[in-house]
Chains A and B, each alone.
Chain A
């Protein structure tokens, strides 16, 4: 069941997987904290990202799943009004994000066996993939959010090797954010800076509060890094 992520095309399959994943002994990474009641038809439980460095990696993995799924859709069915450069860059960014996702999956499976976060089911219903502006706005939101997430999560990491890896990823995310901002509005590449020239930083809870609207499953990041 845990095959490659194809969330945009198999939502029902995902949900059915998730419904009994919680009852599966093998789902050691999942902590089902009871069903929430805010979903009308789909039983939805909260998935804790856990603690320790594995939780930080899974937190990153969750965000990279989201980004990778988004750009995979953009690359697969690009908006007709993209410029040639925009299309080219989006195709490359899609590969970067897919690599980030797959790398984190491999690293978690290697270093924290049994703790890999499940495949998530993205919800991009608010994005109109046929419209350049809608895609760019969403991409900007994802990239700025991703940068702030890595910046805020850095201090939660205990293993220096993971910190370096996170640093190697976040600067690429910042490069994405920069160019996408320039596509949205030229010259705004760094307008996330505060009065001290510092980029955004958010805690896992703050990030997931924003990201949750794009993820079907409920994620709990309150213990990440603890």
Chain B
């Protein structure tokens, strides 16, 4: 182990590293870079020890960071296992063709990388002394049987779209907890990559034989999968609370949750601020249709902005939470 080299590397990305190891902001600032470093570094335990020492007495702050990272890791693990099952099923190749299979493989690779970055043995969570959640699996049996997930390629693409779009919304929902930090930058860089995935999956769906002409790379108000799908995977409302917010094992309902290992807390659902539906046309109290000088249609206004979700909504049984086993 080359202790000084690591210090040098850290100092390289954060010139004032040691002096700033005493604030909430500092831990996040360093962590974002650390995540990248530690994914490649040979001595993650040392890095973790460095943090442990620097933040002795700041358990709460570190705990928050670990919770946010574990939340992200949960979604990445879910996506990772989902794509593993899709690849194993083979339909992307046999039905979708070589280009489709290559795209699925590429997306899966990114999810693998995100999982390693967040939860690997050299990942960000362990570097903070936390325990990465594990054993998150995609529960194919949660998909309504009439959609034939195992044998229907279009269903697989639909679920992929739901997962990717939900992931995009999920990262937005916790961004403010990382305000002003380099860790936020890392989260945003994952976030936009998920959006690229989502757009491509949507384009794959749009180019399938007999596809709806309403499907776009962006989320449109007309896209039924974003509104009132027959399979209820994408309802816009929070339905069965996860409160007070410990998700392992989920107190109250959703019986869908059955994490294999690890636990994390999420902010309590704020019933006064239910997340907007995808057909929302008002942002920051600005009515996009009527208040911008130039008139825009509801469809244009809805598509121009993606929406966020509270963690409790994401992990709710009506959304990603319902697809975990």
- CB within 8 Å of B: which residues of A? 4, 89, 92, 95-96, 98-100, 102-103, 105-107, 110, 147, 150-152, 154-158, 160-161, 163-165, 167-179, 182, 186-187, 189-190, 192-193, 195-201
Contact = CB atoms under 8 A, between A and B. Distances in A.
Given A167-B175, A175-B218, A196-B36, A103 B288 contact: yes
Contacts of A154: 175, 184-185, 188
Contact of B216 (A92, A169, A182, A186): A92
Contacts of B202: 175
A179 B203 contact: yes
B307 interface: yes
Interface residues of B, number: 63
A190 B110 contact: yes
B14 interface: no
B99 A187 contact: yes
B113 interface: yes
Interface in B164-202: 168, 171-172, 175-176, 179-182, 184-186, 188-200, 202
A197 B185 contact: no
Contacts, number: 200
B284 interface: yes
Interface string B95-109: 000010011001101
Contact of B185 (A107, A151, A187): A151
Contacts of A172: 195, 218, 303-306
Given A100-B304, A107-B284, A197 B117 contact: yes
Q: Which of B199, B202, B300 has the most CB of A within 10 A?
A: B199
Task: Report, nearest first, the 7 A-B pairs whose CB atoms are least far apart.
Answer: A197-B113, A160-B176, A174-B195, A178-B199, A197-B110, A175-B199, A102-B292
Contacts of B107: 190
B159 interface: no
Contacts of A157: 179-180
A197 B192 contact: no
B15 interface: no
Q: Which of B172, B176, B192, B291 has the most CB of A within 10 A?
A: B192
A163 to B, nearest CB: 5
